[in-house]
Structure 1
């Protein structure tokens, strides 16, 4: 499924540029993706579209006041046992890192967690979580900051320790 999501991200720069799911399915099939993989990705994308449509962000990516109360800076997100098991320590640490860096506001974090929980396989790999984060930004028509984008695309396997 994640290969399909990467293809969609690379070929449709913004979520609103992406064709309807039925047409997208035909295009993915024409590009040689397996029917089961396409179906799983389309169901996942439908959930992402629904979550993004029901969440409004202001231009600075903070929660829109009309959508309810913003999360207080002293709030703490407590992850359920199911979330901890499905995401694993490495992914939860990465989400925490993005939040503390100020690039993943609470509403987007919740969509990332929701979409990660909807992904098959447990625990979700860090590389797959990075794709999910990119897709959440994509669904809002936002591009992450250059440093964040670098962190999301960076392959730690090839880093040299200093």
Structure 2
């Protein structure tokens, strides 16, 4: 399912190509690209839930939580997100790329994925997908995009 999301993001959303709105046409195109229909339907449901979160749930997060709250990861979240991923989420909050609401949206979408080997690069893409269509988060999206495609210069020590 994550591969389909990546394919959609890279080939439509991120490249600014015209998005096929008809789910049947999109399913047919993804099938021609080699994806299985069951996984396609799961990916489309994942995107639909993301849209639902963007439309409503984020607003309730913003008004209900103090900015000084500390997030404690559940056991299931800690299994999916290793310490590197958890640290990266905290880093993004400290940078101002994520706030309480967007962090919770990211966690919601991460936990919905059926990925067995979820890693930091996968997390970065989920963050980018969540931020992409959030009104008022264009600067955070640009900053996250820079972090995603940033290449280290010179030797790493």
The alpha-carbon deviation at position 121 of structure 1 amounts to 2.9
- The structure richer in helix per residue is 2
Query: How much is the aligned-residue C-alpha RMSD, in angstroms?
Result: 2.8
The alpha-carbon deviation at position 70 of structure 1 amounts to 5.0
Greater relative contact order (CA < 8 Å, ≥ 6 in sequence): 1
TM-score, normalization: structure 1?
0.76
Larger deviation, residues 29-38 vs 127-136: 29-38
1:153 matched to which residue of 2? 149
| Residue 83 (1) aligns with residue 84 (2) | no
| Residues in 1 aligned to 2:68 and 2:6: alpha-carbon distance in whole angstroms | 35
Aligned residues: 151
> 1:37 and 1:73, CA in 2 relative to 1: closer, same or farther beyond 3 A?
same
What is the DSSP-based 3-state SS (H/G/I as helix, E as strand, rest coil) of the residue aligned with 2:68? coil
What are the superposed Cα offsets for residues 88-112 of structure 1, whole Å, 9 maximum, x if unpaired? Answer: 2111111111001011111111110
Q: 1:30 aligns with which of 15, 29, 32?
A: 32
Q: Is the 8 A contact 1:48 1:139 kept in 2?
A: no
* Structure 1 segments unaligned to the other structure (5+ residues): 57-63
1:60 matched to which residue of 2? none
What is the DSSP-based 3-state SS (H/G/I as helix, E as strand, rest coil) of the residue aligned with 1:75? coil
Q: Following TM superposition, where does structure 1 have runs of at least 4 consecutive aligned residues deviating by more than 6 angstroms? A: none
1:6 matched to which residue of 2? 6
| Residues in 2 aligned to 1:12 and 1:111: alpha-carbon distance in whole angstroms | 19
Equivalent residues in 2 for 1:67-146 (5 A)?
69=63, 71-122=65-116, 124-140=118-134, 142-143=137-138, 144-146=140-142
TM-score, normalization: structure 2?
0.78
Q: Is the 8 A contact 1:4 1:41 kept in 2?
A: yes
| Residues in 2 aligned to 1:159 and 1:39: alpha-carbon distance in whole angstroms | 43
